[in-house]
Amino acid sequence: MKQIIGIVFLLFTSVAVISNASLMLISPKTWLRLPVWMKLTANFTERTHGTQSGQLKIRLLGAFFLSVMLWMLHGCLARP
Amino acid sequence: MELGAVVGELIDPAGGGVAGALIGSMVGVGGGISYVPSTDNFYAGPVITFAPQLFSGYGWNASTAIVPSGTNPNSIANGQSYSVTFQPTTFTGSTVTKSPGSPAVAGPSVGSRSRTTTFSASYSFDITPAARAVRSAVQSAVSTVRGWFQ
């Protein structure tokens, strides 16, 4: 039972992080316009992060989170 | 925020939702994943966070813990743990994690909740056997496909 609960949280968290991080990397403007329940923006808004430098920051953060998730998935699936 | 509004409406149906929503925006519930590379163990479970800043309950962060020699990292990652994250900017922060029975450990943190301090409580389940089963299945599928082309 604990395994199932853990896997549910693993899937839920992985999907949320990978989808948000990918969108942050591809299109920061679209990510900022997502509905509240879908995005993990904290205090990121179009007003504060709609500028070129703000979008670059979002892209870097997205790339970082995507790298972390891919590293963990690589450890999970591809380690000998 | 919706959770906070619902709680606020339950407390005070005439206008409590506004206060509840504002308080609720500082509280977040979600999930967390931990990976211990040295022992190849995986953990996942629920997390509840509180950040004393409006709309900072949402958000995410990734951190690593520097575990002193002689301390088992799995005892920190498994079960209940409490952490405090101080995140002055998005890419510079630190997290201190304390698990019952283990010393507090700290490490750098990156996250979307900038200019705030976040308090989190989490409970992680050991999902290493399931992760290893998935890995075996993936690796046998890959070797089967490779066998078709050899």
| C-alpha–C-alpha distance, residues B44 and B127, integer Å | 7
Q: Categorize the per-residue pLDDT at B57 as very low, low, confident or very high, splitting at 50, 70 and 90.
A: low
Domain assignment present for B15? no
Banded model confidence at residue A44, pLDDT cuts 50, 70, 90: confident
Q: How many residue pairs from chains A and B have C-beta atoms closer than 8 A?
A: 104
Query: What confidence score (pLDDT) does residue B96 get?
Result: 92
- Confidence label for A42 from pLDDT (cuts 50, 70 and 90): low
Number of DSSP helices (H) and strands (E) in chain A, helices first: 4, 0
pLDDT exceeds cutoff 60 at B39: yes
B21 in any annotated domain: no
From chain A, the residues in CB contact with B32 under 8 A are 9, 13
Is it the case that residue B45 has pLDDT exceeding 60?
yes
Domain that holds residue A73: 2-77
Give domain status of residue B23, yes or no. no
| Residue B80 forms part of a structural domain | yes
The helix/strand count (H/E) of chain B reads as 4, 7
Q: Nearest C-alpha of chain B: how many angstroms from A70?
A: 12
Burial of A35 per CB tally in 10 Å (0-12, 13-18, 19+): exposed
CA–CA dist B113, B37 (Å, integer):
26
Confidence band of A25 (pLDDT split at 50, 70, 90): very high
Looking at the complex, report in whole angstroms how far the Cα of residue A67 sits from the nearest Cα belonging to chain B: 11
Structure tokens that stand for B134 in this block: 């998935």
Domain count, chain B: 1
Chain B's closest residue to A24, CA to CA, is B112
Q: What is the mean pLDDT of residues B11-22?
A: 45
- Indicate whether B9 belongs to any domain: no
Domain that holds residue B113: 29-144
The reply to whether B10 falls in a domain is no
Q: Which class for A14: exposed (0-12), middle (13-18), buried (19 or more C-beta within 10 A)?
A: middle
Alpha carbons B36 and B92: distance in angstroms, whole number: 22
In B1-150, which ranges are E strands? 27-36, 41-50, 61-63, 79-89, 92-98, 105-111, 116-126
Residue B59 and residue A42: Cβ atoms within 8 Å?
Answer: yes
Task: Determine the distance in angstroms separating the CA of A39 from the nearest CA of chain B, rounded to an integer.
Answer: 8
In a domain, B8, yes or no: no
Mean pLDDT rounded to a whole number for chain B: 78
What distance, in Å, lies between the first and last C-alpha atoms of chain A?
Answer: 27
Q: How many domains does chain A fold into?
A: 1
Q: Is the ipTM of this complex over 0.95?
A: no
Measured at the alpha carbon of residue B88, what is the angle toward residues B85 and B93, in degrees to the nearest 5?
A: 45
